[in-house]
């Protein structure tokens, strides 16, 4: 079984990426999906759907770790398995 990690954020600016890289966390993510890749923000689930499309997966094969209320609402709209972390 292959596990893919994708980071979904509103804006992946240079400072944010630098922080991930400095902490050694960038190597854990295959792809980054940002607000620039979608036309609608959460709670619309478009950003989740975009990441699944990039990996050519089914939503039953996905797991979302979310830290925002709008992300949880988006997950409810499209019925993804999701856990909320703060």
Give 20-59 pLDDT, tens digit per residue. 899 998 888 888 888 888 999 889 989 888 888 988 888 7
- Kindly report whether the global pTM for this prediction surpasses the value 0.85: no
Report the C-alpha gap between 17 and 32 in whole angstroms.
10
What is the rounded distance in angstroms from the CA atom of residue 80 to the CA atom of residue 45? 10
- Tokens for 52, please give them: 């699944």
d(CA 47, CA 71): 10
Output the pLDDT for position 4.
77
| Residue 44 backbone dihedrals phi, psi, to 5 degrees | -65, 135
């Amino acid at each position: 079984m292959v596990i893919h990690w994708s980071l979904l954020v509103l804006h992946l600016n240079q400072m944010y990426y630098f922080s991930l890289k400095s902490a050694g966390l960038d190597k854990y993510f295959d792809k980054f999906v940002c607000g620039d890749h979608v036309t609608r923000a959460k709670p619309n689930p478009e950003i989740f759907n975009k990441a699944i499309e990039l990996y050519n997966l089914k939503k039953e094969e996905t797991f979302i770790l979310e830290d925002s209320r709008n992300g949880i609402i988006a997950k409810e709209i499209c019925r993804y398995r999701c856990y909320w972390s703060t």
